[in-house]
């Protein structure tokens, strides 16, 4: 098995956050996406553009 294939063995979550900038106190997350891979194949995808949903998912705002 090649090194690249070994790196993708098992379950891996790839996370992408798009922000309005790099300052945690001033900027915010605009979009979040997660792709779940199993042995290199996509098995599940999730994304949102909703900042309130993102903040709840990250545990920064309590869900009601």
**20, 27 contact by CB (below 8 A):** yes
pTM: 0.64
Tokens of 20: 């309005």
DSSP notation for 7-48:
HT-SEEEEEEEEES-S-TTT--EEEEEEEEEETTEEEEEEEE
- Higher pLDDT: 53 or 8? It is 8
Given a cut of 90, whether residue 1 has pLDDT beyond it is: no
pLDDT of residue 60: 64
pLDDT digits (tens, 9 = 90+) for 3-44: 667 777 899 999 998 888 888 888 888 888 999 999 999 999
Question: What distance in Å separates the CA atoms of residue 64 and residue 62, rounded to the nearest whole number?
Answer: 6
Question: What distance in Å separates the CA atoms of residue 12 and residue 1, rounded to the nearest whole number?
Answer: 18
Tokens of 36: 């779940």
């Amino acid at each position: 098995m090649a090194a690249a294939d070994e790196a993708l063995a098992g379950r891996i979550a790839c996370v992408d956050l798009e922000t309005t900038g790099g300052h945690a106190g001033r900027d915010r997350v605009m979009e979040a996406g997660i792709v779940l891979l199993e042995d290199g194949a996509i098995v599940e995808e999730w994304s949102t553009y909703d900042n309130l949903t993102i903040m709840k998912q990250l545990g920064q705002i309590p869900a009601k």
